[in-house]
Amino acid sequence: NAGVTQTPKFQVLKTGQSMTLQCAQDMNHNSMYWYRQDPGMGLRLIYYSASEGTTDKGEVPNGYNVSRLNKREFSLRLESAAPSQTSVYFCASSELYSHNEQFFGPGTRLTVL
Amino acid sequence: AQSVTQLDSHVSVSEGTPVLLRCNYSSSYSPSLFWYVQHPNKGLQLLLKYTSAATLVKGINGFEAEFKKSETSFHLTKPSAHMSDAAEYFCVVSVGGSQGNLIFGKGTKLSVKP
């Protein structure tokens, strides 16, 4: 039982390049989330998917797109990377209701030069 | 709207002394509250959660937190710090409803001196 997995663990991009961060969970959770973590800012929600087939914007969606490929997988795409997107990205999953904890992946450390 | 404020960005304690990490929240209804811990270069792990049951919540590794509605606080405590407790701690409030979105505090970095 791997929980939430993310690939890659590290990535360096040049400004303007694109990439997709992958996330998968094996806990049969309905909801999945993408966050970014910046020093002194806590975690901020980029996009979430409450259930398969739906996605919604979070607090900081600009410059990102997401795809809920199936119940297990939720990917985050940067179409044209900018230095302001240098961050650590976390994927999480949970059951549908607010009192349920979110389970986090190990993170992807992205640097945009 | 929901929000959460962690009152200290950095707390330093000596090993064996008590730990207190302070958190205040704002919510228009009875919230769900969480504390998560993040060790260096790791993901986040749930320490404990409050979901309108007992106001004193016990978590892993000897941590506990008390929900005080009158003070809108959810402070995290531990009687005796261990070196392995050095990490960043996040107080989190749930947005509510079925979507389960969370609002994170900015984090408190706990240092433990030998």
What's the whole-number mean pLDDT along residues A83-101?
87
Helix, strand and coil in chain B, % to nearest 5: 5, 55, 40
Chain A interface residues (partner B, CB cutoff 8 A): 4, 31, 33, 35, 40-45, 48, 50, 56, 58, 90, 92, 94-107
Whole-number pLDDT of residue B2: 78
The candidate with the shortest Cα–Cα distance to A90, out of A48, A55, A57, is: A48
The radius of gyration of chain B from alpha carbons, rounded to an integer in Å, stands at 14
Q: How confident is the model at residue A52 (pLDDT cuts 50, 70, 90)?
A: confident
pLDDT digits (tens, 9 = 90+) for B37-90: 999 888 899 999 998 778 899 999 999 999 998 999 999 999 999 999 999 999
Q: Closest Cα of chain B to A70: distance in Å?
A: 18
Whole-number pLDDT of residue A1: 67
Q: How confident is the model at residue A50 (pLDDT cuts 50, 70, 90)?
A: confident
